[in-house]
A and B are shown apart, each in its own frame.
Chain A
Amino acid sequence: MTSEPVTVRLLFASKPVWEALPAVRAGYLAVRAISPVSLRYWPMPARGNAEGAESATGRYRQGGAMTDHERDVGAVRPFPVTLDVDRWLLDRPLHDMDGVASGKIDDLEFSDPVAGQAPELVAVLRGPAAVGPRIGGRLGVWWTAIGLRLQTGRERDLVSIPVGVVAGIRHAAVQLRSHRQALGTEVIADRVREKIAHRTPGSG
């Protein structure tokens, strides 16, 4: 007989151990299910090859096609009817209509409260003048002052983006319907580029 021992086959096989011993996989899943430790620390044992071909990334790398669900994830989704601003809006990245990052949402602006009427969301704000009050204290004042010095005198106000320009959520970012140049969200980046980066020797 020339058959190799079972232990050698388990050690050197290209397949995971639980394919040879289904009871090991079942036991692992049972322990994983009742463990108080977060599930993300318990990797799900993949079936098939050990290189993660079942995941979307693994399949794309191997030339596989995108499923309908994975294609939909890239679409612009509407906001829920009821939303909490801390979870859905504040500190979310903003992407313009070309998908270029245009900063983050630093604050929100509401209409003035009128008796009997709830304030309406009017605009999303960004820029140091919006972040400073959120930080608070001396650090917040300092942050606002530095940001204002980097801006031109004409554009010292907050960058206010009307809510009508906001399209929805895409890839965990807030998608806009305009170009970032039209919204003025790149005032500080342009100022730093003009005053510092372009004057640095070797910048071209």
Chain B
Amino acid sequence: MMRAVELIGCEVVDRDGARIGRVCDLRLVADPHTRGLSGYHLESLVTRTGPIGDRLGYTTEHTVGPWSSAWLFRRFGRLVRLVPWRDVEAVDGRVIRLRAAVGVPCEGGPRQ
């Protein structure tokens, strides 16, 4: 069995060894007809490169805040990337190696 704590905080590197970021969250996806938490699977890793990233919640789609702060932290949020689990080659301790070159920017999929 694998635990979430074994993934969150891990360093993510691509196939060339270039650092992509650190795992800050996990994104799960389920079938539309699932009940409760049954049927959820790990769809992607949410990684960030900066110390702030989306920690303050301003990259979530439902967040409403003062426009100045929201603008500032959305720029921090650009450092957040989604790494699909299918691109993961191996988990070596605290390092996750990918078989792909780079992750997908999180702007295409706002935080849920």
Q: What is A's interface to B at a CB cutoff of 8 Å?
A: 35-39, 78-88, 90, 107-113, 118-122, 124-125, 130, 133-134, 163-168, 177
Return A81 CB to nearest CB of chain B, in Å.
Answer: 6
For the complex formed, measure the closest distance between the CB of A84 and the CB atoms of chain B, giving whole angstroms: 5
Q: Closest B-chain residue to A120, C-beta based?
A: B41
**Which residue of B is nearest A88, CB measured?**
B112
Name the prevailing secondary structure of the A interface residues.
mixed
Our pick among A38, A85, A177 for the contact of B28 (Cβ within 8 Å) is: A85
Contact between chains at B41 and A84 (CB < 8 Å): no
Smallest CB separation, B108 vs chain A (Å)? 13
B41, chain A: closest CB distance, angstroms: 4
Q: Is the CB of B42 within 8 A of A82?
A: no
How far apart are B70's CB and chain A's nearest CB, in angstroms? 10
A160–B66 alpha-carbon span in the complex (Å): 41
The CA of A121 and the CA of B43, in the complex, are separated in Å by 11
Closest 3 CB pairs of A and B: A163-B37, A108-B4, A36-B68
Residues of A within 8 A of B39 (CB): 120
The answer, yes or no, to whether B93 is at the interface (CB within 8 Å) is: no
| Chain B, interface SS category | mixed
**CB atoms of B66 and A39 under 8 A apart:** yes
Would A84 and B86 count as touching, CB distance under 8 A?
no
Give the A-binding residues of B (Cβ under 8 A): 1-5, 8, 24-32, 35-43, 46, 60, 64-69, 85-86, 88, 91, 111-112
Report yes or no: B3 in contact with A87, Cβ–Cβ below 8 A: no
Contacts of A79 in B (CB 8 A): 30, 36-37, 40
5 A-B pairs within 8 Å (CB atoms) are namely: A38-B66, A110-B2, A119-B85, A163-B38, A168-B36
A87, A88, A119, A125 pick with most chain B CB within 10 angstroms = A119
Q: Which residues from chain A contact B30 at a C-beta distance below 8 Å? A: 79, 81-82
Q: Which residue, B26, B39, B60, has most C-beta atoms of chain A within 10 A?
A: B26
Q: How far is the CA of A113 from the CA of B89 in the complex (A)?
A: 11
Query: Which of chain A's residues have a CB closer than 8 A to the CB of B65?
Result: 38-39
| A109 touching B37, Cβ below 8 Å | no
A122 and B86 contact, Cβ closer than 8 Å, known pairs A81-B30, A167-B36: no
Given A84-B112, A110-B1, output 11 extra A-B contacts at Cβ < 8 Å.
Answer: A36-B68, A36-B69, A107-B5, A109-B4, A110-B3, A118-B41, A118-B42, A120-B40, A122-B1, A166-B37, A168-B36
Q: Are B60 and A87 in contact (CB under 8 A)?
A: yes
**B2 — which chain A residues lie within 8 A by C-beta?**
109-113, 119
With known contacts A109-B1, A119-B85, A124-B37, A85–B26 Cβ distance under 8 A: yes
